[in-house]
Amino acid sequence: MSDSAGVKDVTAEKPAETKEAVELTAGDRQKVVTPEYMFFEAPRERAFITGSEAAKEAIRRSNVDVAISYPITPQSETMQQVGSLWAEGYVKEYYRGEEEIGVMSAIAGSSRAGARSMTATAGPGLMRGMEVIASWPGGRIPAVLLIMCRVVNAPLAIQPDNVELAYLLNCGIILLHGENQQDFFDYTMKAFLISERPEITLPVAVAVDGFFVTHARGYVNLPSKDIKLPPRDPYAEAVPAMDNENPPARLSRDAPIQKSNFISYQVHASWQQEVWAANERARRYINKYMGGLIEVVNPDAEIMLIASGSAVSQSREAVRQAEEEHNTKVGLIKVRSIRPFPTPELRAACKHAKRIIVPEFNYMGWLHREIVTALYGHSKAEIFAGPRVYGGMSMPTEMILQTIFPEKKFIF
Amino acid sequence: MSVKNISITPGWEKYMTKEYQDLVERGPYGKQKKVSEMGSFKEVLEEHPMCAGCAMTLFIRLTMVGLPNPEHTVLIGTAGCGRLALTQTSIPFIYGNYGDTNAVASGLKRGLEVRFKDQAKDVVVMAGDGGLADIGFSAVMHSWFRKERFTTIMLDNEVYGNTGGQESGMTERGALLKMAPKGKMFEKMDMMGLAQTAGVAYIARLTPTNPTRVASVVRKAVMIAREVGPTFIQAYTSCNIEYAIPTPKVLDDAREIEAKRYGFTEIISDEAKAYLDSIDTSKKVKK
């Protein structure tokens, strides 16, 4: 990964062809630019597109080697559009896998081959692939997983509900939760860079709430499609690629720790510690590329809303209504990164808070639990458990206003 | 990787183990080894915890001799006895999740093809009958239907050996094993037939009774996978513990089973046959 500024010609990177001239693909014709140029300097044009299209545009510019798809609502549209990118020559390899265990395993394979790899799933698909996904961090697999949240519980439904993210909190994967189409575009590209850093070398999941983001249109500022991120360098990562160009890697990818003796306990313990330490080291790049693990609106307010995903958009509107219609300044903390969790950031941002409200799009309130754990002993604020919607419901701003102004009566 | 990559820095030879020195000087990197050369280097580098007399260990050692291009090969396995020896070979070995071998191999092979346009990289799955026919069944079948270009080798001991002797889909009907307290109720799965249905280019069934044949079958399977399409080897590698075969009788048992129901069989597609005809396998394998 190059840290030098400016634009360089990708064609210079290709070795001279000795045989017949090879036709350049659309991807070959894109220019490799630095992450800084792509994220902060490249001129952008505003487009009105769905979240699925935003993901597609991110993949187009991310120099992806291998993308593996499997349909599930509401994700299908994204990976079928990535298929179009492969047909157009922006992605080098693509196929439809057999089901999610197969797909997540194949991603583990292609990533170990040293190829930049990505897939996407939703709800029950995430649950099916979970055994494999939970093993990626320990395998030190750099890869990007896009998640379009939907109901996972019975009775079966396709509606938005982000309870599935609770299942990802304890496996070591880096988890980013986007608010809207623009976030989905930006976080996805940044995820590749964070994932492949030598001191991180972990998978990154980028989640958005299904339908609200994936199927609805929003404004997205896009840089030119003629530029792309630098390629992955699999020899500058925590664990070398399994391409038999390195002496055989012994530790992470074979089975000495399967033996039951004191060395195996020690190996496994230190390995887990290192996975979580690497997860924490992602903070530096989340700060650098994404403007921090949290965003704070009205930092001095005594009532703070804390939210992630689509709940942020509803909270923003509630903050506006509280100020314009009820003459009350309410604060908002948008949590961009769920893992690593912004514990020190939240403690600092909630120092003056008297009431904290956590709107969520799931029944059991995983974000509330995370916040309570983070703030315990560091805040005297009452931390309100809700409001919550689930099973596909949308969250009227009146629901949030009702928790801000319990003495008033809102109709929703 | 070439033998150059594993060569010892001058002056450090005396600090390296005998096994490593043998690997560099007499090992298979850069030269096709013959079965008659076995013992001049260790195919399995370190101590492995396989049981005494294990037929699977013998089969794995023979496979290591048969691989046409070990310096550009990556092995994939799953839970089971085989990986206890496979992790100790001089070839990178991926040990993933339960039954994920053929899905991992699909991604790995395609990823390697993206990255190495001018260097064939061989991917070889070696896993047990439980790993491939039961828990990994879907991934195996789909990798075959997709015509993924790698070799699948089933170490068929007809039992879950590593977990202590439970029935598998490849167990013979009637066999009395754990989780089959009244004897297995259904037939041994016909993986050869399924491979044929799925259009596997080269299918072979054998036992380790003929070492040269094992090496030659492995060589053919890996080369056909590189050039034509998926290949499958189903190898009888008895579990002398769970089937109570006395250690000195392991090969006698293999010969008996071979004569009774596990005879050497090869099913080669026309395309694979044409490829084999186009190369002379008796000479040094083309890299």
Structure tokens at A347: 């403690």
In the block, tokens 């964070």 appear at A194
Provide the pLDDT confidence category of residue B286 given band limits of 50, 70 and 90. very low
DSSP letter (8 states) at residue B14: G
Structure tokens at A403: 């928790």
CB contact under 8 A, B83 and A115: no
CB contact under 8 A, A242 and B92: yes
Q: Which residue of B has its CA nearest to A140?
A: B96
Query: Could you tell me if A303 and A224 lie in one domain?
Result: no
Residues of chain A by 3-state class (helix, strand, coil), percent to 5: 40, 20, 45
CATH number reported for the structural domain that contains residue B65 in this entry: 3.40.50.970
Structure tokens at B110: 């395609």
DSSP letter (8 states) at residue B29: T
Give me the sign of the Cα torsion angle A331, A337, A338, A339. negative
Q: Pairing mode, if any, of strands B265-268 and A117-121?
A: unpaired
In a domain, A315, yes or no: yes
In a domain, B13, yes or no: yes
Q: How far is CA A190 from CA A233, A251, A386, B285, in A?
A: 16, 29, 31, 45
Structure tokens at B172: 């013979």
Cis peptide before A43 (omega within 30 of 0): no
Nearest to B168 by CA among B272, B117, B243: B243
Interface test with B, best of A13, A117, A254, A261 (most B CBs within 10 A): A254
Domain extent, residue A366, equals 294-404
Measure in Å the smallest separation between the Cα of A29 and chain B Cα atoms. 17
- How many CB atoms within 10 Å of residue A269? 11
Q: What is the pLDDT of residue B281?
A: 52
CB contact under 8 A, A244 and B49: no
In a domain, B92, yes or no: yes
Nearest to B167 by CA among B237, B229, B228, B175: B175
Query: Could you tell me if A310 and A215 lie in one domain?
Result: no
CA B160 to chain centroid, in Å, comes to 17
Query: Could you tell me if A305 and A212 lie in one domain?
Result: no
Q: Give the angle A29-A197-A133 at the CA atoms, nearest 5°.
A: 95
Q: What is the pLDDT of residue A21?
A: 63
CB B23 within 8 A of CB B7: no
The 10s digit of each residue's pLDDT in B94-111 is: 988 999 999 999 999 999
CATH number reported for the structural domain that contains residue A357 in this entry: 3.40.50.920
Q: What percent of chain B has pLDDT over 70?
A: 95
In a domain, A287, yes or no: no
Specify the long-range contacts of residues A405-408, CB closer than 8 Å, at least 24 apart: A405/A322, A405/A326, A405/A328, A408/A326
The 10s digit of each residue's pLDDT in B268-283 is: 999 999 999 998 655 5
The 10s digit of each residue's pLDDT in B195-213 is: 999 999 999 999 999 999 9
In a domain, A360, yes or no: yes
Helices A181-195 & A51-60 angle (0-180, nearest 10): 30
Give me the sign of the Cα torsion angle A340, A392, A187, A298. negative
- Tally the C-alpha atoms within 13 A of residue B175's C-alpha that lie toward its C-beta: 22
Q: What is the pLDDT of residue A1?
A: 36
Q: How high is the mean pLDDT in each 10-residue block of chain A (412 residues)?
A: 40 46 88 98 98 98 98 96 97 98 98 97 97 95 97 90 97 98 98 97 97 95 98 92 76 52 78 96 98 97 97 98 97 98 98 97 97 97 96 94 96 91
Domain boundary (A212, A228, A244) is at A228
Interface test with A, best of B67, B110, B138 (most A CBs within 10 A): B110
**Mean pLDDT, residues B11-30:** 85
Q: Which residue of A has its CA nearest to B20?
A: A247
Q: Which residue of A has its CA nearest to B71?
A: A244
Cα separation, A285 vs B65, in Å, equals 47
CB A119 within 8 A of CB A111: no
CB contact under 8 A, B6 and A247: yes
Query: Could you tell me if A169 and A35 lie in one domain?
Result: yes
Query: Could you tell me if A218 and A314 lie in one domain?
Result: no
Domain extent, residue B104, equals 3-278
Q: Give the angle A162-A163-A167 at the CA atoms, nearest 5°.
A: 120
In a domain, B186, yes or no: yes
Query: Could you tell me if A320 and A208 lie in one domain?
Result: no
CB A294 within 8 A of CB A345: yes
What's the complex ipTM? 0.93
Strand residue runs (E) in A97-216: 117-121, 144-149, 174-177, 204-209
Q: What is the pLDDT of residue A16?
A: 47
CB of B103 less than 8 A from some CB of A = yes
Measure in Å the smallest separation between the Cα of A235 and chain B Cα atoms. 13
Q: Which of A99, A247, A258 sits opposite B5 (nearest CB)?
A: A247
Query: Could you tell me if A212 and A337 lie in one domain?
Result: no
Phi, psi of B141 (to 5 degrees): -60, -45
CB A78 within 8 A of CB A68: no
Q: Which of A109, A139, A246 sits opposite B111 (nearest CB)?
A: A109
Strand residue runs (E) in A281-344: 294-297, 303-307, 331-335, 337-339
Cα separation, A30 vs A226, in Å, equals 5
CB of B1 less than 8 A from some CB of A = yes
Is residue B153 scored above 70 in pLDDT? yes
Q: What is the pLDDT of residue B46?
A: 63
CB contact under 8 A, A139 and B92: no
Q: What is the pLDDT of residue A3?
A: 38
Q: Give the angle B33-B36-B40 at the CA atoms, nearest 5°.
A: 70
Contacts of A131 in chain B (CB under 8 A): 97-98
Structure tokens at A162: 């982000």
Q: What is the pLDDT of residue A259?
A: 62
Query: Could you tell me if A105 and A213 lie in one domain?
Result: yes
Q: What is the pLDDT of residue B127?
A: 97
Q: Which of A98, A114, A246 sits opposite B111 (nearest CB)?
A: A114
Contacts of A258 in chain B (CB under 8 A): 83-84
Contacts of B71 in chain A (CB under 8 A): 244
Q: What is the pLDDT of residue A4?
A: 39
CB contact under 8 A, A110 and B107: yes
Q: Count CB pairs under 8 A between chains A and B.
A: 148
Measure in Å the smallest separation between the Cα of A98 and chain B Cα atoms. 6
CB of B6 less than 8 A from some CB of A = yes
Q: Which residue of B has its CA nearest to A130?
A: B97
**Residues facing A174 on adjacent strands:** A204
Q: Which residue of B has its CA nearest to A105?
A: B104
Contacts of A248 in chain B (CB under 8 A): 90-93
In a domain, B222, yes or no: yes
Q: Which of A92, A98, A105 sits opposite B104 (nearest CB)?
A: A105
**Residues facing A357 on adjacent strands:** A305, A384
Domain count, chain A: 2
Cis peptide before A340 (omega within 30 of 0): yes
In a domain, A19, yes or no: no
Q: Which residue of A has its CA nearest to B137?
A: A102
Range 59-98 of B in CB contact (< 8 A) with A? 71-74, 76, 83-84, 87, 90-98
In a domain, B246, yes or no: yes
CATH number reported for the structural domain that contains residue A129 in this entry: 3.40.50.970
Query: Could you tell me if A77 and A184 lie in one domain?
Result: yes
Q: Which of A112, A117, A131 sits opposite B97 (nearest CB)?
A: A131
Domain count, chain B: 1
